Structure 1
Amino acid sequence: MGDFLAGAYPWVKFLHVISVISWMAGLFYLPRLYVYHVEKVQAGDDTDALFQVMERRLLKAIMNPAMIATWIFGLALVFTPGIIDWSMVWPWSKAASVLGMTWFHMWLAARRKDFAASTNVRTGRTYRMMNEVPTLLMIIIVASVIVKF
């Protein structure tokens, strides 16, 4: 298995980066949709239904598959021999940040259900503030992988 992963390393890395970019795009965009949804839309009207369709499709058709692919290809990289030195800090800081990113994804999914049930109680300000979470985690992840501290 190690030989296969070592030989496939450039392709796995390529697929991992593409998956991460797709996932990040959704993590940046969905909270912005929530801001507009909570600030500009009345529950139960046609625009509410439109926002719910956009939010559901973004989450289900783009973000969920991208997150799953990110995890699959990321774990393949982790199990590729000679790639990660677990005695260093960077793989641990990246792993913790990826877990944080996954938590944020799940938090967004729960908020989508709130909108669908017309039970959202969060403000546009909350969603604006939460929109910074993936940026902070991305900075930690990229610094971890590039600088390898």
Structure 2
Amino acid sequence: MERHRGIFTGTTPKTTKIDNFGSFIPFLGPGDIDDMGNVCYDNKGLSQIGLQEARKIQPNSILVACIGGIGKSCIVDRECTCNQQINIIAPYSCIYFRMLYYSINSQYFQILMQKNSTGTVIPIINKTLFENLSIPLPPLKEQEYITHTLDTLFTLTKGLKCE
């Protein structure tokens, strides 16, 4: 299967074909991503047959929910697939990827997504609208420094409870 680069959207194999589903590869939806960027890979899966109708997502890709609770995001740590309610950003060599992830989770970008979404009942941001949103990023060396600092801070604060 081809390796996708850039931004793309997940796909759902025909749900009427029971042979498309199984445990060969995780099949993610927005509900499998929590507000902290954690991913549950165990809810649904595709079979090898189903994978032929889906897009394989490479590890270190960023997934961003684009329907309903738009903006929930994660970085996947393994090959997987997802439905069309998720936009995927494949790894780029010219961007420090965790910096892009932190930028997507910033208040600035979350508000930008909301403002550019469509839909009256359920907010939607399609692939074209999503990929046209700008994220200002510093030079690569600064991205690395900022990301290292944020990773350290998040590690130190993980598990702390507000009282």
Do the structures match in fold with TM over 0.5? no
Higher share of residues assigned strand: 2
| Relative contact order higher in (CA < 8 Å, ≥ 6 apart) | 1
TM interval, shorter chain, is under 0.3
Q: TM-score, normalised by structure 1?
A: 0.25
Higher share of residues assigned helix: 1
Q: Give 1 or 2 for the bigger CA radius of gyration.
A: 1
